[in-house]
Amino acid sequence: MEMNPSQTQNPPDSFLKKLHFLGPGFILSASIVGSGELIATTILGAKGGFITFWVILVSCLIKVAVQLEFGKNAIVSGRPLMHEFNLLQGGKVLHANWAVWATFVLTLFKILQLGGMLGGAAIVLNLLFPAASVVFWIVLLGISLSLLIYKNYYRLVEKASMLMVFGFTLFTIVSLFAVFYTPFAFSLADVVSGLSFKLPQEVLFVAIGAFGITGVASDEIIAYTYWCQEKGYATFTGPNDGSENWRYRAQGWIKIMYLDAFLAMIIYTLVTASFYLLGAAILHGNDALPDGMDLINSLAAIYTESLGKGARYGYLIGAFFALYSSVFATLAYWSRLFPDIFSQFGWIAYDDKKSLNKWVSALAIVLPSLWILTFLFVKLPGFMVLSGGVVGSVLLLVVIFASIKFRIKNKGLKLTSGSFSEIMFWLSVTSILAVSCYGIFKLL
């Protein structure tokens, strides 16, 4: 993506005007507030009780510093992320850096996770409208995704994401408050017990999967760069000509990106923590949760127990939007990621818009088809989603390496990189490495 100097503009100076330029974080929230919260987080709460609450908080809060580094680099460089990955240190295979190949292969493994997410949305619709089968609903959902993403309009992705995430966020938080008026009410001491950094062996797989998929996962960190550029942050900043005007624009648009990311963090942390606490309060101590087709129906107990039986339909409607919004945002992201990767393989020219649009249209059809076939073959949405979280933990290691290189490369520009930023970045890197490596070691 080449930045055109004629399209540069100064960042807004008032808070209300800055709000007009937010948006990438809403798409991120639509992707985040989905299967990780609905399935992985709730299962972790059900299996671990309050004791593993810290995993969720760390997952939500600690990764944002790495996300900001990716967003900053996207604004300063103006280049697609895989182009930047191709410039990283390390060996190349067929013209592409190892980091590009790692992103490609690990993302392919996450097809299993997306199949579980899309299948979960189809199961929800089957529970709401049992006259039609799960197979009918998943095929219909796949077609709807293809139609929505076929032309790849950013504004459609942004507005649809905002709409889908708002309703379920509100409903989940209301449900958490309602649980205090039921026999499942919990105390502050219960919550504090989850901050002791204990990780029982029997919940290790679920915890690592939840860490990899909740908060800003590796996928969302990568996707955020595309949304920042399509929103216009890089274009508005313009190419670095070494002038003070460029530095002023870059500083201003990076600060708006920071505001966008932090508001998104507040949203998904509240929702994720609410899911976890509901699962720990209501489902912990019950018999093992089923997987397969009965998982979503069993998790509905969170809402029926806290808000009454009449809330079941409200839960299912909310669950559908959470799952569907995640798949929708992921398809929008993958339809940008894969052409970027293919351009580094030498298969397409990224600046050739006609060729790029053909790939986007093809991926909008092929990817949902693969997700449908995967679900129909496996039919275990819980396992499928958690397996994607484990793959995401491995991909986080690639993301961490890239973020360190980006920080070193851009440090000389001295853009929003004070002592606090430095501390938070290295704390984020250290924490992610520690949790990811520990979990991978334990699972081997």
Q: Residue 137: what pLDDT?
A: 95
d(CA 71, CA 258): 9
Query: Domain of 379: which CATH number?
Result: 1.10.4160.10
Provide the domain limits for residue 10: 5-443
The tokens 């101590």 sit on which residue? 285
Q: Of 371, 296, 282, 299, which Cα lies nearest the Cα of 331?
A: 371
User: How many domains is the chain built from?
Assistant: 1
Q: Are 59 and 268 in contact (CB under 8 A)?
A: no
Q: Are 318 and 58 in contact (CB under 8 A)?
A: no
DSSP conformation class of 120: H
**Residues with pLDDT less than 50, the chain:** none
Q: C-alpha angle with apex 285: 282 to 286, nearest 5 degrees?
A: 80
Q: Residue 433: what pLDDT?
A: 80
d(CA 64, CA 58): 10
pLDDT tens by residue, 25-58:
878 777 776 655 666 677 777 777 888 888 888 8
Q: Residue 367: what pLDDT?
A: 94
As given in the structure block, the two tokens for residue 189 are: 């001491």
Residue type, 41: T
Q: Residue 39: what pLDDT?
A: 67
